[in-house]
Copies of this chain bind each other. A is one copy, B any other.
Amino acid sequence: MELWFTELHTDNVRFSIKVDRQLYSAQSQFQRIDIFESIEFGRILVLDGYIMLTEKDEFIYHEMIAHVPMAVHPNPRRILVIGGGDGGAVRELTKYRSVERIDLIEIDEVVVDACREFLPQTACRLNDPRVHIRYEDGLKYTRSHENEYDVILVDSTDPFGPGEDLFTKEFYGNCFKALREDGIMVNQHESPFYAKDAAAMQRAHQRIRARFPISRVYQAHIPTYPSGHWLFGFASKKYHPTHDFRPDAWNALRIPAHYYNTNLHSAAFALPTYVQEILQKVEEA
């Protein structure tokens, strides 16, 4: 038997993975959730038809969303993760002893339950005593918090469906307010290559820049995301992502990582010219 999962990267581009079995399938109040077992990528989490993670390459996304801000902030103690119900970002954050509390705000409890059962590789640290999970809308949650967090990770789905609110002006403004005076927000920032993703990236960049004094974009190679070229936004009240980066301090923590390293940290902010140009278009707008 052959069983193939296919994701449409655009209407004209398909990425297909041979799967061994469908381990889980459910329709929650918010989205369709599927988990597959595959030879090439291990287990795969799919939301509304889009790959959220595979066991083979999820380390890249989760290390890059977590370690970049954590290596810049001199003393990150209180962290907010919005989305990220798979637990991968939380897993990376729990590697830091300095962290006192992680609030995970995930809209969909069904995702967390499914990941706890079928994706222990990412969900393994959700029981860390510092982690507090609330099943709530991220936009609503951020409305009522002020001057509370050192780092906020916006680990959202794409800006279509349940993730849409996490790309709005209001949301970024709320995050700004919820951060302490030297806080840092990092968000998954879509991709520069296919037109629809690039437009989402431009909108996000424009809205974040309007609110944060420091706003930069960095990149990673994530093979199972469309085009493999994925971006993150680094938005900050005080610290610059490379000038205020302290590689020696981070290396002294001896945090295990397979993609992120301190040479790559600054290099990730050196964007290709065509990506710079797309971002500059909205900076000048």
| Assembly CA distance A257 to B267 (angstroms) | 19
A24 within 8 A of B: no
A266 within 8 A of B: yes
Q: A38-B12, A227-B223, A228-B227 are in contact. Are A272 and B261 (CB under 8 A)?
A: yes
Shortest distance in angstroms between A255's beta carbon and chain B's nearest beta carbon?
11
A193 within 8 A of B: yes
Q: Which residue of B lies closest to A229 (CB)?
A: B221
A251-285: which have CB < 8 Å to B?
257-261, 263-264, 266-274, 276-277
Shortest distance in angstroms between A14's beta carbon and chain B's nearest beta carbon?
4
A219 within 8 A of B: yes
Most buried by B among A18, A269, A270, A272: A272
| Assembly CA distance A231 to B197 (angstroms) | 24
Picked from B227, B267, B273, the residue with its CB within 8 Å of the CB of A258 is B273
A248 within 8 A of B: no
Shortest distance in angstroms between A12's beta carbon and chain B's nearest beta carbon?
4
Shortest distance in angstroms between A69's beta carbon and chain B's nearest beta carbon?
18
Picked from B12, B38, B259, the residue with its CB within 8 Å of the CB of A273 is B259
Q: Which residues of B have CB within 8 Å of A263?
A: 270
Q: Which residues of B have CB within 8 Å of A18?
A: 11-13
A207-239: which have CB < 8 Å to B?
219, 221, 223, 227-229
A10 within 8 A of B: yes
A16-53: which have CB < 8 Å to B?
16-18, 38-40
A124 within 8 A of B: no
A99 within 8 A of B: no
Shortest distance in angstroms between A105's beta carbon and chain B's nearest beta carbon?
29
Q: Which residues of B have CB within 8 Å of A272?
A: 60, 221, 258-261, 264
| Assembly CA distance A144 to B4 (angstroms) | 50
Shortest distance in angstroms between A9's beta carbon and chain B's nearest beta carbon?
9
A contacts, CB < 8 Å to B: 4, 10-18, 38-40, 57, 60, 193-194, 219, 221, 223, 227-229, 257-261, 263-264, 266-274, 276-277
Identify 18 new A-B residue pairs, CB closer than 8 A, beyond the known A221-B229, A263-B270: A4-B14, A12-B40, A13-B40, A14-B16, A15-B15, A16-B16, A57-B193, A193-B223, A221-B221, A223-B227, A223-B228, A223-B229, A257-B273, A260-B273, A264-B270, A264-B271, A266-B267, A267-B268
